[in-house]
Amino acid sequence: MTHILASDPRAALMVNDAAHLLKRCYLLQRECVLMQAGWLPGTPDLAIKLALAESLWEDALIARELRQRVLELRYPERLIAPDADQALLDWWCGFRDAPDGASFARGLASVLKPALQQAYQTYLDLSDPLDDAPTRRLLAHALADLEAQSARWAGALLDAEHGPAGEAWLSGARAAWAAAGEATLLGPPQAAYPPVPGRRPFQIARHAARDPRYARLAFAWPDRIDSARGPGEGLTLQVRAAVHHANEIWATEMAAAVLVDLAEQAPPEFLDDAARWCFDESRHCRMGLARLSAFGFSPGDIPFDTFSYDAGAELDPLTRLGIIFYFETTFIHTKPQRARIFQASGDRLSAHDMDYDWADEQIHTHYGSHWLKHFLEQAGETRTPLEVRAAAEQAVRRLQAQAGPGDVAATEARFQRAMALASRYANA
C-alpha cells in the first residue's frame, strides 16, 4: 500500500514548505498594510482615503493570523526574516512608487490584491484539509475579506480622477506583474523581478491632502480656533459634533503616519493596534458624514481642515504619536456627556455615534499611553508620555495661534452657512 499513500494529494506540502510559503505571504501582506498607510495622508479623494483605512485594518488582521500560523509551524523558532525572499519583497514594495494616491489605489485594487487572492487560493488548492486545517480556515477568511474589498474598491474608485502619468504607471505595473508570471508569489525565489516603469520614489505626505469636492478651511469650526467659543447647545451642538466627527479624518491620517514611522522598530502588536486605531478614526469620520448628510448637507457644505495633522509635519515620530494621544485624552470626557445630552433631546443617532466613539477612544488612550511608554524606553529617553503629550499640545497651539483675520472670517462664514442649512432641514 505504500505506493498508494505516496501519491496521495494531501501530502503536497510538508510543514517546512507550508511555513516558508506562509512566511512569504505574511511579509507581503504586512507590506501591503504599510503601503496603504503611507498613501493615506497624501491622497485627496475622501472615498479612497476611507477605503484605505478599512482595507489596511483588514489586511493587518490577515497578517496577524498568518504570522501566528508561521510561528506555530516553526515552533520554537520565533525569527521571521525575508532571507531568500528579499528580492521579491523589494519588488512588491516598489508598487507603492505611484505618481499619486488614486493611481496607487487602482494598482492596489487591480494588481496587488488580486495577486494575494491568487496566492491564497493556490495555497488552498495545494493544502491538506486535515493536517493544515488551521491555515485553510484563516485563508478562507482572508479571501472573503479580499473579495469584499474588491467590491468596495470598485465603488471608491468610480469617480476618482486619473491623469496620464497615473495611466502610464498603472499600465507599467500591470505589465510588470504579467511578465513576472502567475506563480510569482508562491513560486521559487528569483534573483530579480521585472521592473515597474514610471516609478516615482514614494514619500509620505506630512501635510494632509483634502478632497476638493468638500469645503476646505484652515479651521473647520469656530471652537477649533477659540476654545472659549464653546460647543454650543441644541442644533448647534448637533451640527458641531457631526463636523468634528467628520474632521477626525485627520486622526485617521495621523494613525497611518505613526504606523509608517514606527512599525520597523516595533513589535508585531504595534501593527495590529495602529491599524485598528486608523480604522476606528475613519469610522468616526463616516459617522459625521452620515449625520451631516441627514441634515441635507452636500459635500460642498461640509468643512474640512488639516491643522491637527499638519501640526506634526516637522516633529519627530513620537511627538506625532503624542498629538493624537493629546486629542484622545483631552476630549474623551466630553463623549459620554454629549451622548447623554443627545439622548435626552431625542437625537438617538448622535447619541448612538457618540457612545461608540467613547468606547473606541478608551481603547485609543491605552494605545497612546502604552506605545509612547514602549518607544520612549526603547530609545532610552527620560521623557514620560505626559511630557510628550505636552510637547504635542504646544505644537497644536502654535498652529492655532497662526489663525489670521481671514481664517477667522472664513470659519465664521462657513459656520453661519452650516447652521442656516441645518435649521432649514430641522424645521422642515
Do residues 253 and 364 touch, judged by C-beta distance below 8 A? no
Percent of all residues in the chain with a pLDDT value above 90, rounded to a whole number = 88
In a domain, 199, yes or no: no
Tell whether 167 and 314 lie within a shared domain. Answer: no
Residue 188's CB: how many other CB atoms inside 10 A? Answer: 6
Taking the model in full, what pTM does it have?
0.96
Round to whole Å and give the CA distance between 248 and 266. Answer: 25
372-414 pLDDT, tens digit per residue, is 999 999 999 999 999 999 999 999 999 999 999 999 999 999 9
51-98 pLDDT, tens digit per residue, is 999 999 999 999 999 999 999 999 888 889 999 999 999 999 999 999
Amino acid identity for residue 208 in this structure:
A
Q: What are phi and psi of 157, to 5 degrees?
A: -90, 0
Round to whole Å and give the CA distance between 229 and 217. Answer: 18
- Average of per-residue pLDDT values in the chain: 94
pLDDT at 425: 87
Residue 300 lies in domain: 215-427
Do residues 99 and 165 touch, judged by C-beta distance below 8 A? yes
Q: Is the pLDDT of residue 1 over 50?
A: no
Average pLDDT value for residue range 104-127: 96
pLDDT at 426: 83
Tell whether 126 and 236 lie within a shared domain. Answer: no
pLDDT at 7: 59
Q: Is the pLDDT of residue 2 over 50?
A: no
Tell whether 231 and 351 lie within a shared domain. Answer: yes
Q: Is the pLDDT of residue 164 over 50?
A: yes
Tell whether 73 and 166 lie within a shared domain. Answer: yes
Q: How many domains does the chain have?
A: 2
* pLDDT band with cut points at 50, 70 and 90 for residue 5: very low
In a domain, 190, yes or no: no
pLDDT at 134: 97
Round to whole Å and give the CA distance between 420 and 410. Answer: 15
In a domain, 209, yes or no: no
Q: Could you please report the per-residue DSSP string of 172-185?
A: HHHHHHHHH-TTTT
In a domain, 219, yes or no: yes
* pLDDT band with cut points at 50, 70 and 90 for residue 182: low
Peptide bond into 303 cis (omega under 30): no
In a domain, 195, yes or no: no
Tell whether 285 and 422 lie within a shared domain. Answer: yes
pLDDT at 231: 93
Tell whether 33 and 128 lie within a shared domain. Answer: yes
Tell whether 339 and 415 lie within a shared domain. Answer: yes
14-55 pLDDT, tens digit per residue, is 999 999 999 999 999 999 999 999 999 999 999 999 999 999
261-300 pLDDT, tens digit per residue, is 999 999 999 999 999 999 999 999 999 999 999 999 999 9
In a domain, 186, yes or no: no
Round to whole Å and give the CA distance between 80 and 22. Answer: 11
pLDDT at 84: 93
Residue after which a domain boundary falls, among 153, 180, 207: 180
pLDDT at 154: 95
Amino acid identity for residue 292 in this structure:
L
In a domain, 48, yes or no: yes
Round to whole Å and give the CA distance between 356 and 15. Answer: 43
